[in-house]
Structure 1
Amino acid sequence: MIEPTANHPQLLSRNSPFRIIGLTVWMVSYNLGVLPAIMPAIVRDFDSSIGSIQTVLVLFSLTTAAFAPTTENLCRYFGRTPVFLAGLLLYGIGISLTALSPSIAILAISFAVLTGLAATPLVSTPWTFVDLIYRGKTEEQATVGLIVVSTLGSLMGSLLGGFLASRIGWRWAFVPSLVALIGIWFRRRSLPNLSLYCEQPIDWVGGLLSCLGLGSILSGVSLAMEFGWWEPKRAFSIGGVVLPPFPLSIVPPLIAVGLILLGFFGFWQRRQARKGEASILRAGLLRQPGFVLGMLAAMLHTLIIAGVQFNLFQYVPLALALDPYQTALTIMPLNITKILVVIGSLKLLRLGSNRNGATRFQRLSPKSIVFIGLALLAIGILMLYRSLTLQVSSINLLPGLLVMGIGSGLFSPYVSRLTYSTAENGRVEGTGIYNPAQNLGSSLGKAILGTALIFYASRDIVDGVLQQIGQTVTPANRVRLIATLQEMIQTMSRQEVSAEIVNQVPPSVVPFLRQISQEATTSGLRTSLLLALLLTGLCFLLATTLPKYPSRPAEENA
């Protein structure tokens, strides 16, 4: 099986495929960034909840990650370019239906299922094209370019999407991505024709088992903060049927079912290998510890950045009394700094691949720069933690955001380069798993850190009100009150939650509610930042398994 390569030394020439693949990465990142920004408008329009939109985002990435092995299987059989174009068509249908959705259920199916399936080749193929088409300095420029356009897409989703939603309507926020898709389709002839010649049939059984197994495990992890890891915080029901029908959180059964399905998947893969038939893990990437651990380190980094930003979008409007557009401007320095550092690291990335004749700074190995980036990320989180007071301002948040942006900008290009170098076939096989995992990290960050913020803020509000009225309740009733408030926050607008609390508390407590809620939200964000700091430490441990330098063939760096 051979995938042909081409040489396009001019990255931004008129017929360069980078224009198309870069716009594709921008389009997917834009839509992932736009949904949190327009969340309040969707909740009001559909009389839905913030939790339901969070679920849609998580399901999108679950679908993308779970379908990744099957997508690689399809690419080996039909070719990457045909699968990419099919994904582009399905993506357009999914986004169009999302913008026209008459209900939250249709929106969930359109965005989480249709767009999630279509996004799998769209988030992996551009990086594979870069690996196959470009060489040397141009390849490094293209790699950094994709990181930049991905960050820009997410940033513009927050700013432009939020602006369109507030001025015209949330449905119009998807128009820029549809315009980009049309432009990609009309320039599709610029893409290389990467066709494969493979007579081996597609492993549909392996694909189904991997999708269901990964989807079940990842769904369990994403629901853990909301429903509890073991003891249920609240009941999980489908169509009025409570699952499971005994006092246990839904999380352990989901993870158990996923592990069982993955066990069947492993048995099936061994059977297929013995018979010499179609096998979805032909490349064996998941059996290469260096690649898996590097991918997990990168996913944790994405989880931290996305989760912290998501929580800031919830915190800043309350603490600083800003509208959504002003909130996006307040948080924007993190992404802008990351973009500038990634662009500036291009020269370092090229010099870092040459170990001979380097200056003192150039002798820093890529792995060392990964560690420096993580250290700065941790310092930035601590600075943000210390800046959170009841008198916080945008200026107070700025230093922490800038340092986090510098750390993230140093970490991102180097960790991907080192991780891919541990894969047997580089990006050709690795991107089909690596990039969906990063999208999954983004959604899990919003789910895990976002739910942590809501839970701890709810706990402190309940405790603050009880302290103000001088009452105590049993631990069981306290847990019930916290769970009720947590559900209210996830299912009501901020104004509705405030009105409901005012109706439930004694009149003597009402004048203190704003201070109690602001203190609780600040405390909740500080707790979620400590969790992010803990995850940064875990990311550091995973990064220790990366090689010091990329192990790439010499001719590729010529």
Structure 2
Amino acid sequence: MGRWKPLIVLGTAQFLMVLDASVMNVSISQLVEDFDTEVTAIQAVITLYTLVMAAFMLTGGKLGDMFGRRRVFVVGLVVYAVGSGLTAVAPTLWVLALGWSVIEGLGAALVLPALAALVAGSYTGRERAVAYGVVGGLAGAGIAVGPLLGGWVTTYLTWRLVFAGEVVLVVAILLLMRWIPPERAPDHRARLDTAGVALSAAGLALMVLAVLQSGTWGWVQPRNPPFTVLGFSPTLFVVAFGAALLYAFCRHERRREARGLEPLVSLDLFGNSALRSGLATLFNQNTILLGLFFVIPLYLQVVQGLDAFETGLKLLPVSVAMLVASMSGTLLLRIASPRTIVRTGLLVLLAATLWLITAIEPELRGAAFAGAMALLGLGLGMLASQLGNTVQSSVATEDRSEAGGLQYTAQNLGSSLGTALIGAILIGALAGAVGSRIEDDPRISDAVAGQAAVQLEAGVSFVPADDVAAALAEHPEVPPEEAAAIVDDYRQAQLDGLKAAVLACAGITAASFLFTRHLPGRRPTGDEGTDEEPAGDVP
């Protein structure tokens, strides 16, 4: 038992980092009501949380190298608790964004790279694979508990209690920090690359912001942007500017290394093919996961009218299956290599997304939906059981903080883009579908269809069809029978938008196979993956 005490502390912290994101996803409708806002505003808050983590995760990893991973882990937990406390009492949307998205996000950016390095430093060989399987399983447990706990508390009490409870959980973790053995002091105290921090954070932020706003701004033709560039939507220009900043960041890091200065992250790490494959697959996994966990609750709550607790119950199969599959990682390694397990997981995930498309119907078909959810969890769990250990075991001991920073940067950038990109596809497909359906509907006159087109140009929101009916009732110039036809078209367009968003997730899943070539291609034996022998890929 004593051997696994550090894992109890680190695994609980991993559980905590996942918990409130899943709570937020099932509480979207309640948050919209409590803060008198729209789904897109809550989408922005969710995206900002993962964006802050992605933007500053490299910085968190470097601070772990500079000041010690254990110390940075503790500081990050304290920052996280402050953000959770502020979120619990947030009176307005901007305070929610400050407490949850910014302060909690910064705390997580300190905790997670240190956590990854502390797990790798506490265990070797098969024990490390077990430890990362448990950490992945507890991440799955956070996803499992989040919808149920968050749904029940949101429905019958208030979502604020979850964040108050997180403060208590952080205190408990801090009291058990003595279970994690002290580290050797860092050999030297490097100066933080502040220019690298600014360039990487700004580049990542701009790219995700542009994708997030693409549904409102439009990709090429302007829809409702704050400004235009040469008559075009600013979306692609902002993406390009963000990419240019990231290119400048890479050049800056190379110059620092050439001058003998310590970079924010050593770009030579990207010469490690197993690390590259692991990071790319982690990015894709979280893009799919967060995209689906944004879309599915909207289908259950907005289309089907379920409350947060009922939504959590419907998500239970994916959560349980992910937990079981994640915890089974070391057993799977007895019969297959990490590469084979990940590729099999992607095949299962692809089948699940295609099945889910067929299950999205006006009337919820419980058995089909539950089956798709269970298969989805199985595929995601197989990925989670392998990728963390693959990334950490592919580098030497001294590079683990940087690898941890890259690992969670990839995960959280994927999470940000998953929510932003899939959400944008959903809104864009909804707008296109409702416009074409109204235009082609013989029950709707040209005059009313023209008025609807003008309204659609100003933007469309994913709201209950009853809200659309109520809004049309305030316009007596629209005949009741035509208003009913518009509501019916909107209901059908919602399903079209949801299916388009899930299909995009299926496309990302299929494309992910291209990035698995250099994952370890043989089963680990003995002490493979220990400090002395980083695990690489096998042709």
Instruction: Please say whether Structure 1 and Structure 2 have the same fold, judged by a TM-score greater than 0.5.
Output: yes
Tell me: CA distance 1:455–1:214, structure 2 relative to 1, closer, same or farther (3 Å). Answer: closer
* Displacement after TM superposition at 1:127 (Å): 1.9
Give, as a single letter, the amino acid of the residue that structure 1 aligns with 2:423.
Answer: G
* Displacement after TM superposition at 1:142 (Å): 1.2
Give, as a single letter, the amino acid of the residue that structure 1 aligns with 2:421.
Answer: I
Determine the structure 1 residue equivalent to 2:371: 399
Determine the structure 2 residue equivalent to 1:118: 107
2:198 to 208, 218, 230: 208
8 Å Cα contact 1:21-1:126 kept in structure 2: yes
Determine the structure 2 residue equivalent to 1:227: 217
Alignment of 1:347 onto 2:324: no
> CA offsets, 1:410-452, max 9 Å, x none?
2222233334444455644311111232133223222222332
8 Å Cα contact 2:61-2:401 kept in structure 1: no
* Distance in 2 between residues matched to 1:70 and 1:476, nearest whole Å: 52
Give, as a single letter, the amino acid of the residue that structure 2 aligns with 1:548.
Answer: G
Tell me: CA distance 1:278–1:244, structure 2 relative to 1, closer, same or farther (3 Å). Answer: farther
* Distance in 2 between residues matched to 1:501 and 1:462, nearest whole Å: 16
8 Å Cα contact 2:326-2:382 kept in structure 1: yes
* Displacement after TM superposition at 1:392 (Å): 3.5
Give, as a single letter, the amino acid of the residue that structure 1 aligns with 2:516.
Answer: A
Once the two structures are superposed, the pairs formed by residues 155-170 of structure 1 within 5 Å of their partners are 155-170=144-159
Determine the structure 2 residue equivalent to 1:445: 418
Tell me: CA distance 1:345–1:270, structure 2 relative to 1, closer, same or farther (3 Å). Answer: closer
Tell me: CA distance 1:209–1:389, structure 2 relative to 1, closer, same or farther (3 Å). Answer: closer
Give, as a single letter, the amino acid of the residue that structure 2 aligns with 1:68.
Answer: M
2:443 to 469, 480, 488: 469
Tell me: CA distance 1:477–1:325, structure 2 relative to 1, closer, same or farther (3 Å). Answer: same
Alignment of 1:552 onto 2:526: no
> CA offsets, 1:359-415, max 9 Å, x none?
xxx2x3221221111111111111222233334421121222222222222222223
2:497 to 524, 532, 536: 524
Give identity over the alignment, percent.
Answer: 25
8 Å Cα contact 1:131-1:428 kept in structure 2: no
Determine the structure 2 residue equivalent to 1:10: 3
Alignment of 1:482 onto 2:456: yes
Tell me: CA distance 1:510–1:494, structure 2 relative to 1, closer, same or farther (3 Å). Answer: closer
* Displacement after TM superposition at 1:539 (Å): 0.8
Once the two structures are superposed, the pairs formed by residues 252-291 of structure 1 within 5 Å of their partners are 252-282=236-266, 284-291=268-275
Tell me: CA distance 1:93–1:497, structure 2 relative to 1, closer, same or farther (3 Å). Answer: farther
Select between 53-62 and 245-254 the one with higher mean Cα deviation. 245-254
Determine the structure 2 residue equivalent to 1:56: 45
* Distance in 1 between residues matched to 2:484 and 2:237, nearest whole Å: 45
CA RMSD of aligned residues (A): 2.8
8 Å Cα contact 2:216-2:459 kept in structure 1: no
Determine the structure 2 residue equivalent to 1:47: 36
> CA offsets, 1:152-179, max 9 Å, x none?
1123222212222222223223122122
1:430 to 389, 399, 403: 403
Alignment of 1:338 onto 2:322: yes
* Distance in 2 between residues matched to 1:480 and 1:297, nearest whole Å: 42
1:327 to 311, 320, 336: 311
Q: Could you state the TM-score of these two structures normalised by the residue count of structure 1?
A: 0.86
* Distance in 1 between residues matched to 2:519 and 2:436, nearest whole Å: 45
Give, as a single letter, the amino acid of the residue that structure 1 aligns with 2:437.
Answer: G
Select between 467-476 and 165-174 the one with higher mean Cα deviation. 467-476
Determine the structure 2 residue equivalent to 1:303: 287
Determine the structure 2 residue equivalent to 1:355: none
1:188 to 177, 182, 196: 177
* Displacement after TM superposition at 1:495 (Å): 5.0
Q: Could you state the TM-score of these two structures normalised by the residue count of structure 2?
A: 0.89
Select between 477-486 and 317-326 the one with higher mean Cα deviation. 477-486
Give, as a single letter, the amino acid of the residue that structure 2 aligns with 1:262.
Answer: L
Alignment of 1:457 onto 2:430: yes
Tell me: CA distance 1:454–1:264, structure 2 relative to 1, closer, same or farther (3 Å). Answer: closer
* Distance in 2 between residues matched to 1:392 and 1:34, nearest whole Å: 22
8 Å Cα contact 2:19-2:146 kept in structure 1: yes
Determine the structure 2 residue equivalent to 1:73: 62
Alignment of 1:29 onto 2:18: yes
Task: In structure 2, list runs of 5 or more residues that go unmatched.
Answer: none
Tell me: CA distance 1:399–1:520, structure 2 relative to 1, closer, same or farther (3 Å). Answer: same
* Distance in 2 between residues matched to 1:63 and 1:188, nearest whole Å: 26
8 Å Cα contact 1:137-1:557 kept in structure 2: no
8 Å Cα contact 1:226-1:233 kept in structure 2: yes
Determine the structure 2 residue equivalent to 1:294: 278
Task: In structure 1, list runs of 5 or more residues that go unmatched.
Answer: 1-7, 237-242, 352-361
Tell me: CA distance 1:84–1:103, structure 2 relative to 1, closer, same or farther (3 Å). Answer: same
8 Å Cα contact 2:396-2:534 kept in structure 1: no
Select between 290-299 and 368-377 the one with higher mean Cα deviation. 290-299
Determine the structure 2 residue equivalent to 1:96: 85
